[in-house]
Amino acid sequence: MDDRLKQLLVLGREHYERREYDLAEHALRQILEKTDRFADVFNMLGVILHERGDFLAAEAHFERAVQLNEHYTEALLNLAVTYNDLGKYEAARQVYSRIRRGEGDGGVLDPFARGKIANMHADLAQAYADAGCAQEAIAELKRAVALCPTFVDLQLRLGTMYRDAGDLPLAREHYAAACDANPKYAPARVLLGVALHSLGASEHAIAEWRQALVIEPDNKTARMYLRMVEAQRSGSTGDAVSRDSSPTITRGGSWDALDEATPTEVSDLLSTMTADAAEETDHPAPEGKP
């Protein structure tokens, strides 16, 4: 390799790592004028083109990178992402299988590969959810969670999908897994508390909401749920409503509605109260944000 080519490679990679894509592309295309044997040059150009939304050109570059190095995991993953973007879902699945075979019987072992594939499953789940295909969305999120069980956001998304489908025990299971993955993440404890309360485990729900407030003292949702349940249990519902001056109680239903509600209705009522409470308490002060 001549010195000029080495300089262009170093320059192209440096600009690429800094996300200076225009400068990186200028150097990388000069390399292609001299040789087309560097797989990472095609992969970097593919990423640049993908960032610009030119999926067809990105596809061609990733395919060339994989032709040059069939074990190039990053290029394979980028190719699978691009196939998904182009609606070539079967081709994407074949690439996933190819990656898994390359990792041996143990499955996808590399953390980078696992994370990227898990996020692709999550993206596909969102596409299914947007199309109204709830069961397909759940199936994709289950694959994502299986790859990366410590990803809190994936556990929470799967829990919420189960909750919305009416399967509260599984929702609770995944909310609990999110809390195990990150015990200091207050929103996960709030959601776990809602699931527990909906399942009739009010004491455990209260414990989760109190823990959420220990972690995040300004968590309005946890505070509101605690006021709701404790007022209901003490029989001082009217006082609690008067003290908060909140329109949410009558808008979403009274606290007493929780007694006769189904688990799903409880979750819906709590969600309505949360949204309304946020609307009531988030009014900025005169010196606040514009």
pLDDT digits (tens, 9 = 90+) for 16-42: 988 899 999 999 999 999 999 899 999
- The Cα–Cα gap between 150 and 119 comes to 13
Question: Rounded to 5, what percent of the chain is helix, strand, coil?
Answer: 75, 0, 25
Residue 31's nearest CA partner among 5, 66, 10 is 5
- The Cα–Cα gap between 89 and 82 comes to 10
* pLDDT of 94: 87
DSSP one-letter code for 166: T
Contact yes or no for 232/203 (Cβ under 8 A): no
Whole-model pTM: value is 0.54
Structure-token pair, residue 150:
């410590």
Contact yes or no for 231/240 (Cβ under 8 A): yes
Can you tell me whether residue 284 is helix, strand or coil? coil
* pLDDT of 100: 67
* pLDDT of 158: 94
Segments of the chain with pLDDT less than 70: 1, 100-110, 235-290
* pLDDT of 254: 33
* pLDDT of 1: 61
* pLDDT of 238: 45
How many CB atoms neighbour CB 19 within 10 A?
Answer: 10
